[in-house]
């Protein structure tokens, strides 16, 4: 990943040198002829761990932890004044990076260079393409970049002033992943620091690096191929829900020399496993303030709302719609603990069957759940017609469950922003009410002789 930043930076440096203009420069005769393109880099989403949310960005680790063209908001701030950088003549100045005019997009999922933010003059969501807009650094000055991603969260109010860089009133519903970022500064030890985003280019520039430390970030560093990196950090925690079958009757499969699906033998041929049809997180904090300078977030007020686990809607660009509150019904595949369960490396359902998409939330203590269940069960058996079985659906709504922070396997024992948690819920199937009648034998109480002539 770090080398991708390095090669992208070199390409941008070459592109900058091809754009001549009457630039008075900064006093360095080697650099005073070229306009310097503003280019920004990002790391992979940092997870220790989309209108109507696209869902969480990235994953815990590996190939799934990538950007996928998420919309970003980017602010370019003058280090000297703390105000947004402007261009143009006095009296007619405009913001260099104007979020009302430009659109910023994270790298495409299949991009060879996964480290470059794309700046668009116009962008088409459906094709993930548009018209790239180039912007250039002023001749002099040093700048810091701030950014955030909120998906389709509502009521967000950015407040970028000389003294603060905040986004307040962000109203979430569990489907949005909030991320905040600030430029990672260059340091004197970047060339010797493993994991530094600037390690490769710092090593290449060697003795120049210490001098360039006094010019971050601006035209001079850009002409040397240094691309400021914004490290976006998750501001919420994440829950991934899985269900397990605590009994044979709850499982969707049974073992009979091999795993076979349990289905009714009527015309409907429906699964006989217990279905999870809805999971609701009750009274979740739903208004968040983000401070981009840290970055860290806090709860705004005491507002609360229910968050519903959603499945992606294939008919609507795989977006999530909590207003419908629906998930694709999920049946745990195997009875948990069965000795015949396959290895989880070959069948992920062996450990638990995932329910819907992850839910993002602001950590605020234990979480109360409401779970709706449904099962297709035997209803009648007709002895007059070859013991034919009929079936019916039985629902049990609003089953209560508490997710306790104290049960988190990690040492923290509390939910943390930027952490992803797997929640395994064990469910049990409906059991037939069967009553056995035991016939008690009469006790032999002995014989009694009675003679009618003995009557009085």
Q: Calculate what percentage of the chain has a pLDDT beyond 90.
A: 70
Give the side-chain half-sphere CA count within 13 A for 164: 10
Report which of 83, 149, 163 is spatially closest to residue 288, judged by C-alpha positions: 149
Question: In the prediction, which pLDDT does 433 show?
Answer: 74
Question: In the prediction, which pLDDT does 326 show?
Answer: 77
Dihedral over alpha carbons 225, 231, 232, 237 (to 10 degrees): 160
C-alpha dist (Å) from residue 229 to 4, 23, 188, 206, 407: 12, 26, 16, 20, 37
Give the span between the Cα atoms of 342 and 316, in whole angstroms. Answer: 35
Given 3-state DSSP classes, what are the helix, strand and coil percentages for the chain, each rounded to the nearest 5?
A: 10, 35, 50
Strand ranges, E, within 247-345: 253-255, 259-261, 275-285, 287-291, 296-299, 304-308
Q: Say which residues have a Cβ less than 8 Å from residue 267's Cβ, sequence separation at least 6.
A: none
- The answer, yes or no, to whether residue 16 has pLDDT greater than 90, is no
* pLDDT class of 30 with cuts at 50, 70, 90: very low
For residues 266 and 390, is the Cβ–Cβ distance under 8 A?
yes
Q: Say which residues have a Cβ less than 8 Å from residue 256's Cβ, sequence separation at least 6.
A: none
Question: In the prediction, which pLDDT does 395 show?
Answer: 95
Q: Give the model confidence (pLDDT) of 317-359 as tens digits.
A: 778 888 776 788 999 999 999 999 999 899 999 999 999 999 9
As given in the structure block, the two tokens for residue 28 are 């360095």
Q: Say which residues have a Cβ less than 8 Å from residue 318's Cβ, sequence separation at least 6.
A: 54, 312
Beta bridge partners of 383: none
Is the pTM higher than 0.75? The answer reads: yes
- The answer, yes or no, to whether residue 24 has pLDDT greater than 50, is no
| Mean pLDDT calculated for residue range 295-314 | 94
For residues 297 and 421, is the Cβ–Cβ distance under 8 A?
no
Question: In the prediction, which pLDDT does 262 show?
Answer: 95
Give the span between the Cα atoms of 217 and 83, in whole angstroms. Answer: 15
Q: Give the model confidence (pLDDT) of 185-235 as tens digits.
A: 999 999 999 989 999 999 999 889 999 988 999 999 999 999 999 999 999
Give the side-chain half-sphere CA count within 13 A for 118: 23
Q: Give the model confidence (pLDDT) of 81-139 as tens digits.
A: 999 999 998 889 999 999 999 999 999 877 766 679 999 999 998 899 999 999 999 99
As given in the structure block, the two tokens for residue 31 are 């650099």
Contacts of the segment 339-348: beta carbons below 8 A, 24+ positions apart:
340/255, 340/259, 342/259
- The answer, yes or no, to whether residue 305 has pLDDT greater than 80, is yes
Q: Give the model confidence (pLDDT) of 254-294 as tens digits.
A: 999 999 999 999 999 999 999 999 999 999 999 999 999 99
* pLDDT class of 21 with cuts at 50, 70, 90: very low
Report which of 123, 196, 181, 124 is spatially closest to residue 149, judged by C-alpha positions: 181
- The answer, yes or no, to whether residue 411 has pLDDT greater than 50, is yes
Range of 140-149, 306-315, 411-420 with top mean pLDDT: 140-149
For residues 415 and 237, is the Cβ–Cβ distance under 8 A?
yes
* pLDDT class of 26 with cuts at 50, 70, 90: very low
Q: Calculate what percentage of the chain has a pLDDT beyond 70.
A: 86
- The answer, yes or no, to whether residue 240 has pLDDT greater than 60, is yes
Question: In the prediction, which pLDDT does 77 show?
Answer: 98
Question: In the prediction, which pLDDT does 55 show?
Answer: 58
| Mean pLDDT calculated for residue range 391-407 | 94
């Amino acid at each position: 990943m770090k080398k991708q930043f390095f090669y992208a930076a070199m390409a941008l440096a070459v592109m900058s040198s091809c754009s001549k203009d009457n630039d008075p420069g900064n006093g360095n005769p080697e650099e005073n002829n070229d306009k310097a393109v503003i280019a920004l880099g990002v790391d992979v989403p940092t997870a220790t761990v989309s209108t109507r949310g696209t869902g969480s960005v990235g994953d815990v680790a590996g190939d799934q932890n990538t950007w996928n063209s998420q919309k970003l908001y980017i602010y370019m701030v003058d280090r000297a004044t703390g105000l947004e950088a402007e261009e143009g003549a006095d009296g007619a100045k405009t913001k260099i990076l104007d979020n009302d005019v430009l659109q910023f997009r994270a790298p495409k999922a299949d991009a060879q260079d996964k480290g470059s933010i794309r700046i668009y003059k116009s962008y088409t969501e459906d094709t993930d393409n548009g018209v790239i807009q180039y912007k250039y650094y002023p001749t002099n000055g040093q700048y810091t970049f701030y950014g955030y991603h909120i998906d389709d969260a509502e009521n967000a109010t950015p407040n970028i002033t000389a003294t603060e860089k905040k986004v307040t009133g962000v109203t979430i519903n569990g489907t949005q992943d909030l991320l905040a970022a600030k430029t990672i500064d260059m340091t004197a030890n970047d060339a010797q620091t493993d994991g530094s985003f600037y390690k490769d280019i710092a090593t290449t520039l060697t003795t120049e690096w210490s001098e360039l430390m006094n010019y971050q970030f601006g035209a001079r560093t850009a002409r040397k191929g240094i691309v400021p990196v914004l490290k976006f950090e998750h501001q919420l925690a994440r829950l991934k829900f899985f269900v397990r079958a605590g009994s044979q009757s709850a499982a969707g499969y049974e073992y009979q020399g091999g795993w076979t699906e349990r289905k009714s033998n009527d015309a409907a041929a429906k699964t006989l496993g217990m279905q999870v049809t809805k999971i609701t997180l009750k009274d979740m904090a739903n208004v968040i303030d983000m401070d981009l300078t840290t970055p860290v977030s806090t709860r705004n007020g005491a507002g609360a709302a229910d968050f519903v686990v959603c499945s992606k809607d294939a008919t609507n660009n795989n977006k999530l719609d909590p207003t419908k509150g629906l998930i694709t019904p999920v049946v745990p595949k195997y009875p948990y603990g069965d000795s015949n369960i396959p290895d989880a490396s070959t069948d992920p359902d062996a450990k638990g069957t995932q329910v819907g998409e992850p839910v993002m939330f602001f950590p605020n203590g234990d979480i109360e759940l409401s779970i709706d269940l449904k099962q297709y069960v035997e209803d009648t058996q007709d002895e007059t017609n070859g013991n034919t079985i009929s079936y019916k659906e039985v629902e049990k709504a609003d089953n209560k469950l508490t997710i306790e922070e104290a049960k988190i396997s990690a040492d923290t024992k509390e939910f943390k922003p930027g952490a992803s948690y797997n929640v395994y819920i064990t469910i049990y199937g409906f059991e037939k009410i069967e009553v056995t009648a035991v016939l008690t034998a009469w006790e032999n109480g002995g014989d009694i002789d009675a003679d009618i002539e003995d009557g009085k």
